[in-house]
């Protein structure tokens, strides 16, 4: 490894001191993301100091079942192997019975989250989906999702966490009555990636302005919200930093972002981006560390399965959460990347000096806010959360 010159070390140290004092500018963040591998240890140390200050000792995860309610989707993202058109092999919309079977199996395995990930409004493009919804007694995928979340709340101890793509103000309000938290990845603020041949060509719902509007609307309504960025899909360093800043700014305004996910692109066979360069370990670690510097008090998450077998290293970047991990269901978005066994996750987390704690889909500090609607959701949250907001009966 090359060693840093005296001047370069001083420059990085000055940037990191400014960051520690809470004044990290866009240009500084970009410079730190561009700094070479020789500067990485300094950057990681700074991120770890901030985590120790604001998120000491504990790394969380959510024990979940993953429910792909429908994999039909009207968008065509360049990296996606999840989506299907009607009639394609594997195209499927789950029935309520199929959902409840998974939920009950998850309950038996100590899961507390039912993560609903699904395609974007397939009924707008496919008459087949409109027929399916009609048979199920609904006009829209979001209407079906709402009913299923309510059923899960009513008939099980799991708490739903819908991740259904773009939502209007009305749908955010309706879904927040049947789920303690909602999710929508910002992915990127780069409009360039909507251009022909780029990652979000032919993905109208990935228009950054629309996603920022939805995240902001959740803030206006005070709904605990999960979002994050997807790195390595063609964005520039500046665009990556701008995406993080956009999330931070919305959180500063509304205080509703419960976690920020930093997800690394993985190239998938059979997709337009199959030969695209994946971000390497250093790039991911640098991005995690810069995210920690930009938002020292926020919950930062990176999915362990997308960095297996080196996922314990992600803790060095300043994260304090592993996200949803399932002992039962695959990661349907990345089926080729199994989650680590939870026992192994615990051992690896402890080996790095942290306690692993099971959280609900809503983070402890947002539980009270999620219960404000009252009703069945508040009742279920009261039963599921301990006084500190963690899972009352951890598996
Ligand atoms: S990533 Fe999501 S929105 Fe994009 S094609 Fe896949 S399912 Fe659809």
Write down the pLDDT at residue 354. 98
Residue nearest to atom 4 of ligand 1 (CA): 77
pLDDT at 1 over 60: no
Domains located in the chain, CATH noted? 53-67+98-118+159-384 (3.20.20.70)
Candidate of 75, 116, 335 to mutate for ligand 1, largest count of ligand atoms within 8 Å of Cβ: 75
Write down the pLDDT at residue 281. 96
How does pLDDT run across 150-169, given as a tens digit for each residue?
A: 999 999 999 999 999 999 99
Say if ligand 1 is within 6 A of residue 150 CB: no
Peptide bond into 32 cis (omega under 30): no
Ligand 1 centroid to Cα of residue 14, in Å, is: 41
**Which tokens go with 389?**
């907001």
Say if ligand 1 is within 6 A of residue 361 CB: no
How does pLDDT run across 345-358, given as a tens digit for each residue?
A: 999 999 999 999 99
pLDDT at 7 over 80: no
pLDDT at 179 over 60: yes
Write down the pLDDT at residue 3. 61
Say if ligand 1 is within 6 A of residue 332 CB: no
Candidate of 66, 70, 83 to mutate for ligand 1, largest count of ligand atoms within 8 Å of Cβ: 83
How does pLDDT run across 302-340, given as a tens digit for each residue?
A: 999 999 999 999 999 999 999 999 999 999 988 889 999
H or E stretch at 86: none
Q: How far apart are CA 41 and CA 23, in angstroms?
A: 21
Of 131, 148, 141, the closest CA to residue 96 belongs to 148
Number of the ligand 1 atom closest to the C-alpha atom of 205:
3
pLDDT at 76 over 80: yes
Say if ligand 1 is within 6 A of residue 83 CB: yes
Phi-psi region of 63 (alpha: psi -120 to 50; beta: other; left: phi over 0): beta
Number of the ligand 1 atom closest to the C-alpha atom of 165:
3
**Which tokens go with 148?**
């299923």
pLDDT at 2 over 90: no
């Amino acid at each position: 490894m090359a060693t840093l010159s005296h001047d370069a070390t001083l420059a990085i140290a000055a940037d990191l001191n400014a960051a520690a004092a809470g004044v990290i500018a866009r240009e500084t963040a970009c410079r730190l993301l561009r700094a070479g591998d020789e500067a990485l240890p300094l950057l990681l140390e700074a991120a770890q100091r901030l985590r120790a200050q604001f998120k000491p000792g504990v790394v969380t995860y959510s024990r979940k079942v993953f429910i792909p309610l429908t994999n039909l989707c009207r968008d065509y993202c360049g990296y996606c192997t999840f989506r299907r058109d009607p009639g394609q092999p594997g195209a499927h919309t789950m029935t309520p019975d199929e959902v409840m079977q998974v939920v009950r199996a998850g309950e038996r395995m100590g899961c507390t989250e039912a993560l609903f990930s699904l395609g974007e409004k397939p009924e707008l493009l496919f008459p087949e989906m409109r027929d399916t919804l009609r048979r199920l007694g609904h006009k829209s995928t979001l209407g079906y999702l709402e009913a299923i979340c309510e059923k899960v709340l009513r008939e099980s101890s799991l708490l739903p966490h819908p991740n259904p793509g773009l939502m209007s103000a009305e749908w955010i309000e309706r879904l927040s009555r049947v789920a303690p938290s909602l999710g929508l990845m910002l992915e990127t603020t780069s409009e360039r990636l909507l251009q022909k041949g780029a990652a979000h060509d032919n993905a109208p719902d990935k228009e950054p302005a629309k996603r920022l509007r939805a995240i902001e609307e959740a803030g206006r309504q005070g709904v605990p919200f999960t979002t994050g960025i997807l790195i390595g899909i063609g964005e520039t360093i500046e665009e990556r930093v701008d995406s993080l800043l956009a999330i931070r700014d919305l959180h500063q305004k509304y205080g509703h972002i419960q976690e920020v996910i930093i997800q690394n692109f993985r190239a998938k066979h059979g997709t337009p981006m199959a030969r695209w360069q994946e971000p390497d370990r250093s790039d991911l670690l640098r991005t995690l560390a810069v995210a920690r510097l930009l938002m020292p008090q926020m919950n930062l998450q990176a999915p362990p399965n997308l960095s297996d077998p080196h996922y314990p290293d992600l803790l060095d970047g300043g994260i304090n959460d592993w996200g949803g991990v399932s002992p039962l269901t695959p990661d349907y978005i990345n089926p080729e990347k199994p989650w680590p066994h939870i026992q192994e996750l615990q051992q690896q987390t402890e080996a790095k000096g942290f306690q692993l704690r099971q959280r609900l889909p809503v983070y402890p500090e947002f539980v009270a806010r999620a219960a404000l609607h009252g009703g069945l959701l508040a009742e279920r949250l009261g039963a599921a959360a301990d006084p500190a907001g963690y899972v009352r009966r951890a598996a």
